Structure 1
Amino acid sequence: MSWGDIGNALFGGMSRYGDILALVQNSVWAGAVLGIVGGLIGVFVMQRDMAFAVHGISELSFAGAAAALLLGVDVVTGSIVGSLIAAGLIGWLGARARDRNSIIGVLMPFGLGIGILCISLYNGRSANRFSLLTGQIVSVQSDQLTVLIVLSAIVLVGLLLIWRPLNFDSLDPQSAAARGVPTTVVSFAFMILLGIVVAVAVHIIGALLVLSLLVTPAAAAMRVSTGPIAVPLLAAGFGVTAAVGGILLAIAGTLPVSPYITTLSFLIYLVCRVIDGVRRRGSVEA
């Protein structure tokens, strides 16, 4: 093989990669937006020990999306309705951790069962059914990206409005209540915002993979930092890295995008955990 053949293969491959990247630029933007919002709200999910709640909400969101698919209405709307119902029930009835986990344990199989029933009754394209579980981030349309950006902006504004009382309530709920913080209102508002994020994430990355962007980046960030500003920024950065990096790797290979996103997210967490372990060992030895 001559140097000319090697150059043609190299630059030809880069050209094809650029052409594919241009076709999925909406997906890249969607991944970046989800990474930022998921990372930021994930910090409070971790602080409030609500990773299990995220999974529970995703199951009801999946049920709502599947019902909408069966009825021939907007899937995103169905997903949001399912998420908000789950978030509202958890926020209203699950003030205590024990009650919350019980409610989630009841809602999860119910939502999954309803979703599977609706998918079984659906006679349309099988790809539409499968995307509810694993997402369709490689085929995000312009209108879907617009909805994602608008909903994410609403969530970000909502988070900023309740950031300080939510942070206080997440770290020390007893002291927050004693200081007059409306903890019930703050908790319910947070659950609604979380429901919106989960609904959007389910539509884009699927019900089975929500935790990879709403929990893992924040868990990784909290392993390497404790700063009130550093942790959210790191979580958002890790979320963007996993989502966008997964898409960029996927379009260069032949595997679906989901394994890349989940693997990158896990590797980031693993590296952060190793760094935390080394740092703790060093402090003990010192």
Structure 2
Amino acid sequence: MMHLDIWSQLFDFTDYGELLLLVKNSIFAGAVLGIVGGLIGVFVMQRDMAFAVHGISELSFAGAAIALLFGVNVVAGSLIGSLIAAVLIGVLGARARDRNSIIAVLMPFGLGLGILALALYPGRSANKFGLLTGQIVSVDDPQLGSLLVIGAIVLIALLLMWRPLTFDSLDADVAAARGIATRFVALAFMVLLGLAVAVSVQIVGALLVLSLLVTPAAAAMRISSSPLAVPVLSVVFALVSVVGGIMLALGSALPISPYVTTISFVIYVVCRIAGGRRTRRRAVTRDRRPEGSRPLVSRAG
């Protein structure tokens, strides 16, 4: 009987159609988040900045919690917190060692400040919990509009700076030698990352942003190294995680975050297994080649 009760809490699709209409804003927002997170996550992985995502999310949470305490726009508070963290990390953390130290200082400060604001907040506990773990029905029309605008800004900016950002992410020294303003590119990317984190916090909560801004891209890189396939796969994985998580969470009394993170994790595990098998097959094929054999290369003239 207890197992049935737990199962009914996890999956209960009674009146699912009616409930689906209530969360259409969340589905639209989740789709935008999947596209934004999937694309920017590729550069997060290339630049080894997964830790920075978590640091920015803590300041984003603090900004949202303070906004909630004072009764102002939560999205604006989340944006301010994210941008402050992103700029600080971008300006003060030019080197990896400095960046990790700055993030390690910002994370507990942001989390503590956010918890303080939530402790002082006299409103419903669901609002407090939602900032940490996400809320499926929290996206109203004005909030959806804000998220769409922010998402569009991030996407357009990413597309405009895609080539220099890719070059800088793969080899910053060579990019600088070729005349790319690497400092500007790095700071601009941090601002875009701050915007993406602020959008993500509104859907999946501050504690689980990594599941959308890091895990899909990490999964894509396990099965492909193509500069075209990796972003496409990352976006697909992120979309499946967030939209699938919303659809499943709709039939339960639980927050959205356990479903999103579980789907994202399963995708990563499958990709890691598939990528490992592909690597082993390549190694076996290479070992079976006769010693001294070389691929034939035709030369003109």
TM over 0.5: yes
1:85 is aligned to 84
Report 1:265-276 matches (<5 A): 265-276=264-275
Counterpart residue identity of residue 250, structure 1: A
Change in 2 beyond 3 A, CA 1:19/1:279: same
Runs of 4+ more than 6 Å apart: none
- TM-score normalized by the length of structure 1: 0.93
The alpha-carbon deviation at position 15 of structure 1 amounts to 8.3
CA distance in structure 1 between the partners assigned to 2:141 and 2:122 by the alignment? 26
1:175 is aligned to 174
Sequence identity, in percent?
A: 69
Report 1:96-107 matches (<5 A): 96-107=95-106
Counterpart residue identity of residue 101, structure 1: N
CA distance in structure 2 between the partners assigned to 1:275 and 1:93 by the alignment? 39
1:36 is aligned to 35
CA distance in structure 2 between the partners assigned to 1:134 and 1:215 by the alignment? 17
The alpha-carbon deviation at position 255 of structure 1 amounts to 3.3
Q: How many residues align?
A: 274
1:226 is aligned to 225
1:185 is aligned to 184
Contact 1:138 1:257 in 2 (8 A): no
Counterpart residue identity of residue 49, structure 2: M
1:4 is aligned to none
**1:21 correspondence with 2:20:** yes
Contact 1:31 1:137 in 2 (8 A): no
Counterpart residue identity of residue 122, structure 1: Y
Counterpart residue identity of residue 117, structure 2: C
Report 1:43-82 matches (<5 A): 43-82=42-81
Question: Secondary structure of 2:206's partner?
Answer: coil
* Ranges in structure 1 where 5+ consecutive residues have no aligned partner: 1-12
Contact 2:211 2:264 in 1 (8 A): yes
Write out per-residue CA displacement over residues 147-204 of structure 1, whole angstroms, 9 at most, x where no aligned residue: 1111000000111111110000000111001111100000000000000110111122
Mean CA deviation greater in 194-203 or 39-48: 194-203
1:10 is aligned to none
Counterpart residue identity of residue 95, structure 1: A
Mean CA deviation greater in 15-24 or 117-126: 15-24
Q: Which structure shows the higher helix fraction? A: 1
**1:215 correspondence with 2:240:** no
Counterpart residue identity of residue 71, structure 1: F
Contact 1:138 1:247 in 2 (8 A): no
The alpha-carbon deviation at position 70 of structure 1 amounts to 1.3
CA distance in structure 2 between the partners assigned to 1:267 and 1:52 by the alignment? 21
**1:264 correspondence with 2:263:** yes
